[in-house]
Structure 1
Amino acid sequence: MRRSAGEENAVARQLAAVRPALVEPFGRALPGARAAVLSRLWRALAFEPLPWIAGRERTGDGLTVRLADGRAVRGPDPDPFAVDGAVTQVGLAGAGYDDPASLVDALGVPHGGTFAAELAGSVASLALSRADRAPSPGVSAPVWAWEQRVVDGHPYHPGCRHRPGFSVAEELAYAPEHRPVVRLRLAPVDREDCLVSGEWPAEWRDGARLLLPVHPWQARHVLRRFHDADGFAAHPLMALRTLAVPGGPQVKTALSTRLTSSVRDISVGSVASSSAVSAFAGSLTPRLEGLLHVTRTLGAACDGTADLAAVVRESPEAYTGAGERVLPVAALEASGPVASPSWLGEFAVLALRAGLRMLELGVALEAHGQNLLVVLSPDGRPVRLVYRDLADIRVSPARLARHGLRLPEGVPARIVTDDVTALRRKLFGSLVAGALGAAAGSAPVLAGLVRRAAAELPSTPDREALLRDPLPVKALTLMRLSPDRPGDLWTYLPRPSDV
């Protein structure tokens, strides 16, 4: 019996009770969901520095992964930038596996049991997302409607749709791909008991108390209070815990559960530093000649813990003009333009020009497909970029100084580094290997995009390193199998032109 079968059957039973019309589409979506997660896992076996892999051999159109115990895993030779979920079976010791969770169980590696359970959950949740896929919202739809078209989650993480602690009813009620309207609670907290950064919105004040937006899942499962009806309606975005207020800002809420890789709370430190980091990033955008804007953090507050906190950000739509629209890079495929090679080429030039310019100034953006948005002209051309969520950028004081800039007070030490490897990893791993790689969908297409963009950009050490060196990416599976090693772990992919 497949490891994932138990999770799949549990989801089907819950669906029969809460949304019976989705039971049949869910069943039809399961084989594709298994292949999508298996493809992500096979990518990790092919490229990540997993300690129980002894070697890899490519023969013809296949790949053999030699394990330290003498066994071999065999499958197709993977393109590290493919997002088509084409790997439908992998062989191990003479047996074929179409279920990623069962494959991890059979590998018998340290911490594999927990990871296999995550993969089973990812398969079932991904099938549920695909079963409820939305129709196109139309060209003039708001940004949140395009975000909700992204059903597959992280393009390269095997746990792309893992949502522990969420029942099927809660996924349908809160997950963006199911297009719910979520009513956020408002938790009253005495101002003197709050840490506040920036200007907290006047509409979320009640005399001497601040009203902190709380996600209903957090209220029920973590805070175990605020079950009243006070609050307001909002639309969940790709990050699930971040929601768009109709006609207003975007609100990031604490959600103390693991989604994909990380527990999605909001640290006290990030609340304290949010205003300073936002003002600093905004001060750099005039040097970008209109290429990129950073959404401002309007206010952040917490009660001194990570479980009751919120960050209020400007909507990306603030940076659109008449007839323009903005959408996250992860939603490009759903919106249509990504199908055009000429459009992709224009977008790659714009994205690399902006990203490398910011890096030269001293800021490495985490410009993956969720944080990076593109503004489209009325005829659909990419005209400028918008970046949101500054929590995990990297800042180099030495590079700032070369441009007559200095690091302001209040920027947290954890994001400050002059290590050129760390700076390039942050930008190249997110923008090139992540956003551009997923939009391209293959190594040859990505190689062409990078070459075209590089030909139009000035020569800098960072540009030359992008063309010359292997491409850094987070070792996402290694990170999930290494619970005793906090923080990001990395590997390197061959340059796209070498794959």
Structure 2
Amino acid sequence: MNPTPVPDVPEADGRPTTYHRGQGEMCGPLTAEAATVPRQQTGGLGEQLTSSAGSPPGARSAQLLDHPDPYRAADAAAVENLLRCWVRENSLPEPDGATLRIPLSASGTALLVPVRYWSATGWHRFGLPALEGGQQDAPGADAVTVAALLGREAGQSEGAELVGRVADSVRRTAEFITDRRARPTPAPEADLFLTAEQSLLFGHPLHPTPKSREGLSEAEVGLYSPELYGSFPLHWMAVDRSVLATDSAWTEQGRTLPAEQLTARLCGDLQLPDHTVPLPLHPWQARELKHRPAVAALLDAGLLHDLGPYGERWHPTSSVRTVHRPGAPAMLKLSLGVRITNSRRENLRKELHRGVEVHRLLRTGLADQWRAAHPGFDIVRDPAWLAVDTADGEPVPGLDVMLRHNPFGLGDDAVCIAGLTALRPWPGRAVMHSRLADTVERLSAHTGRPTGAVAAEWFLRYLDHVVRPVLWLDATAGIALEAHQQNTLVILDPDGWPVGGRYRDNQGYYFRESHRAELEHRLPGISTVSDTFVSDDVTDERFAYYLGINNVLGLIGAFGSQHLADERVLIAAFRQFLAANTGLGSPLPGQLLEAATLRSKANLLTRLHGLDELVGPVDTQSVYVTITNPLRP
């Protein structure tokens, strides 16, 4: 193991150390900011500890999630999500004591919420709330009750739908907990990448319905859910070339391969009608599409042929619709009309174009520049796609596939940050645990150093190997990535230290309007069909949310809420990292350091407004609210 020194921030015993960086990076010690970097100590940052104060790191305040009844555990998790959303989206301050009072004037009552841990970054831990004025021995409010009360208080029209989707999410989560308690170890065929993708039992901690899967039957949930180790053969259709839409920049040995050649490899010896191309679909989508008039017309005209399920089994990743097969050269991003979180997950034609366009853009020499500066980071490429048009040349929604490079070998430890931080049943443990906690504890035992010191070093290595390359791309090319925790992968060495990263998503690119001329010079015609140029103001807002708030501050919150580190120490380290990188050219470091407030996505309000994040202009797809910047001292 390479014993990289840690930053000059306090360890658990107060002893500072030094963190050295390479050429062109911040040199010398990270000097602690006396006013903002306290010594790490138990119970800091307004933390309210319950009787679990003597529990090991990562296990405190998780009692409700470890309830023997999986439904009660799932319900408790849903209540916490709803409350975290409400606190953030309404800028509720930290309470003076151990109880947070949430007034509900529309219902003439209030929620009294036990605070188990208060987080500077929003990763609070709560107990079950009680209704003010209720009987003392009354049970705590469940997730459906809390959802109904908050929906009524918000005064939006989608309150009833929210309640239904919360109930669905709780039911699914309970099923996931039940299964994972019985099968805590990964399936034998899973590689390290797939194991991480199957880890998100609870989902986004600041989403009201993270595991709702509207439209799936009970049997389908088992087949199509990564949380249940689901797998299935692809459903194949043959597309007449006259209605085929496609593009490819996938190359092998210097030659561009058509997308149809790639799908032909994947379908093996499946027999195709003459003059057709094989198109893989998600089985659920294939069943649904037959009832759509445009698809039925193509089938009736003999321009589309239903070949049925065929071939080896593929595994859903954390997005549910993207599938992976260990050892295969490609992953497949499939359309899936099931509403997952806020959207029905069907590919838009402009997004298919965008994936190929970004691959071509990187191959203009930009990737070589990036690799020279940050050899451990890259984008997981989406260089080819197949889709279907009507006989009149109009795109047929939901009848398509994006072919994604699979850069991960069987031994590559590539972990999405959401999976790394996710609590789940753990082999040999009686309580929920995360890969992050396991990694920090193992490194602490191996090095003989306190968990807080190890966590700080791990965090700084993450900033260097994952966050700095994303800032470089924005600074150098004017391309901001929607690098939230599920889209961001960290590459770990055998000891568990970050050594690189990957970004994945053919949707989440923001080409800055201020860089239009340079990008058009690199790739003439860029964004003509992909619609990727965005005003700098919107880009700044979204980049600050996805990379700053969701990704990095969310990671700090996970460290803190799992009692692996003091959030104040990591916030101070992040500030020093940002200060050292203001000269890169990206406006984000300065924005995060200086802005009194930031704009944050509001998932609860987005749900209550009935918005689909994949539909409409980028600046109105979701509700954003103003929050206090936790990085300001």
- Normalising by structure 2, we get a TM-score of 0.67
What is the count of residue pairs matched by the alignment? 467
CA distance in 2, matches of 1:355, 1:479: 27
1:439 matched to 2:524? no
Residue equivalent to 2:356: 275
Equivalent residues in 2 for 1:244-255 (5 A)? 244-248=324-328, 249-255=330-336
Deviations 1:238-286 (A, max 9, x none): 0111001332211011101210111101112223443223322454333
Deviations 1:161-203 (A, max 9, x none): 0001112221111101111221111111112202112130415
Contact 2:214 2:338 in 1 (8 A): yes
C-alpha distance in structure 1 between counterparts of 2:508 and 2:341, whole Å: 16
Q: Is the aligned partner of 1:233 residue 2:320?
A: no
SS in 1 for 2:397: coil
Query: Structure 1 counterpart of 2:378, which letter?
Result: H
Stretch moving more, 72-81 or 240-249: 72-81
When residues 276 and 203 of structure 1 are mapped into structure 2, their CA distance, relative to the original with a 3 A threshold, is closer
Structure 2 Cα separation of the partners of residues 212 and 298 of structure 1: 16
Matched, 1:135 2:184: yes
Partner of 2:581: 457
Deviation at 1:100, TM superposition (A): 2.0
Structure 2 letter corresponding to 1:175: S
**Secondary structure in structure 2 of the residue aligned to 1:229:** strand
Taking structure 1 as reference, are residues 252 and 217 closer, same or farther at Cα in structure 2, changes over 3 Å only?
A: same
SS of corresponding position for 1:63: strand
Match of 1:33 in 2: 74
Corresponding position of 1:178: 228
Q: Letter of the 2:239 partner, please give it.
A: V
Partner of 2:284: 217
**For residue 251 of structure 2, what is the aligned residue in structure 1?**
none
One of 269, 275, 279 as aligned partner of 1:208: 275
CA distance in 2, matches of 1:191, 1:293: 34
Amino acid at match of 1:64: R
2:603 to 476, 480, 483: 476
Q: Which has the higher helix share?
A: 1
Q: Paired residue for 2:508?
A: 392
1:322-381 superposed Cα distances (whole Å, 9 cap, x missing partner) = x65322222223434355402122112333212221222311111112211112223332
* Cα distance in 1 for residues equivalent to 2:215 and 2:569: 39
Give the structure 1 partner of residue 425 of structure 2.
none
Which of 155, 165, 189 aligns to 1:118? It is: 165
Query: In the alignment, does 2:85 pair up with 1:60?
Result: no
Aligned to 1:359: 474
Instruction: Tell me, yes or no, if structure 1 residue 416 matches structure 2 residue 533.
Output: yes
Query: 2:368 maps to which residue?
Result: 286
Q: Which moved more, 1:216-225 or 1:350-359?
A: 216-225
Q: Measure, in 2, the Cα distance between the counterparts of 1:68 and 1:382.
A: 48
User: What corresponds to 2:141 in structure 1?
Assistant: 98
Over the matched positions of the two proteins, sequence identity in percent amounts to 25
Query: Which residue does 1:15 correspond to in 2?
Result: none
Q: How far 1:94 sits from its partner (Å)?
A: 4.5
Rounded to whole Å, the distance in 1 between the matches of 2:307 and 2:216 is: 17
Which residue, 331, 334, 348 being the options, matches 2:419? 331
Verify the 8 A CA contact 2:439 2:496 in the aligned structure 1.
yes
* AA of the residue aligned to 1:496: P
Within-5 A mapping of 1:488-499: 488-497=622-631
CA contact (8 A) 2:112 2:131 kept: yes
Deviations 1:263-315 (A, max 9, x none): 10111222344322332245433332224211222311111212211101001
Residues 101 and 477 (structure 1 numbering): CA distance in 2 closer, same or farther, change over 3 Å?
Answer: same
Q: Give yes or no for contact 1:400–1:406 (8 Å, CA) kept in 2.
A: no
Q: Residue 10 of structure 1 aligns with which residue?
A: none
> Which amino acid counterpart does residue 259 of structure 1 have in structure 2?
I
Deviation, 1:405, is 5.6
Q: Deviations over 1:468-492 (max 9, x none)?
A: 2234321101001112696121123
Letter in 2 for 1:124: R
- Measure, in 1, the Cα distance between the counterparts of 2:287 and 2:518: 50
Flag the 1:105–1:324 CA change in 2: closer, same or farther, 3 A. closer
Q: Specify the alignment match of 2:396 in structure 1.
A: 305
Supply the distance in 2 between the matched residues of 1:220 and 1:27 (Cα, whole angstroms): 37
SS in structure 1 at match of 2:544: helix
C-alpha separation between the residues in 1 aligned to 2:572 and 2:502? 24
Q: Work out the CA distance in 1 between the residues paired with 2:235 and 2:306.
A: 7
Q: Counterpart amino acid of 1:477?
A: L
TM-aligned CA distance change 1:380 to 1:408, over 3 Å: farther
Structure 1 residue 159 displacement after superposition: 0.6
Task: Tell me the CA shift for residue 230 of structure 1.
Answer: 2.5
Change in Cα spacing, 1:163 to 1:484, as seen in structure 2 (3 Å) is closer
- Give the C-alpha shift of residue 93 in structure 1: 6.3
Which secondary structure does the structure 1 equivalent of 2:214 belong to?
coil
CA gap of 1:203–1:463, structure 2 versus 1, over 3 A, is closer
Instruction: Classify the secondary structure of the residue corresponding to 2:332.
Output: strand
Tell me the residue number matched to 1:20: none
Q: Return the alpha-carbon distance in structure 2 between the equivalents of residues 492 and 76 of structure 1.
A: 25
Using the alignment, how far apart are the partners of 1:394 and 1:217 within structure 2?
31
Cα displacement string for residues 385-406 of structure 1 (whole angstroms, at most 9, x for unaligned residues): 1111121221114136579965
Higher RCO, 1 or 2 (CA under 8 Å, sep at least 6)? 2
Quick one: structure 1 residues 180 and 426, their matched pair in 2 at CA, closer, same or farther if it must change by over 3 Å? same
Q: Determine the structure 2 residue equivalent to 1:149.
A: 199
Q: Structure 1: which 5+ residue stretches go unaligned?
A: 1-24
* Structure whose CA Rg is larger: 2
Is the CA contact (8 Å cut-off) linking 1:297 and 1:311 kept in structure 2? Answer: yes
Contact 2:238 2:306 in 1 (8 A): no
Instruction: Determine the structure 2 residue equivalent to 1:5.
Output: none
Separation in 1, partners of 2:133, 2:349: 49
Structure 1 counterpart of 2:622, which letter?
A: D
